[in-house]
Amino acid sequence: TMGCLYPDRIFLGVGTGEALNEIATGYEGEWPEFKERYARLRESVRLMRELWLGDRVDFEGEYYKTKGASIYDVPEGGIPVYIAA
């Protein structure tokens, strides 16, 4: 929605996360190694970019799966994604 309301003024910054941030939220599970966190991040960005095209998306990834998923507000041209480790 923000990408539609403010075209060319929105970007998304994402990263693989770190256990220190998650522990503060009460997370008690085993934290995945960097390789898995990076693979999850890449796959999620790929899925977001497909959704930003405006079509219904059937996605069968290693970590994420969708069937006929879509978003209501499709930003023209997508949203720039900045990735940090």
The residue whose two tokens read 């970590």 is 63
Query: 37 with 16: CB under 8 angstroms?
Result: yes
In this prediction, residue 33 carries a pLDDT of 86
Instruction: For the chain, give every domain's residue range.
Output: 2-84
Q: For the beta carbon of residue 3, count every other beta carbon within 10 angstroms.
A: 21
Reported confidence tier of residue 85, pLDDT bands at 50, 70, 90:
low
Q: Tell me which long-range contacts 68-72 makes (C-beta under 8 A, separation of at least 24).
A: 72/1
Q: 34-57: per-residue pLDDT in tens?
A: 899 899 999 999 999 999 999 999
Token output for 72: 């209501």
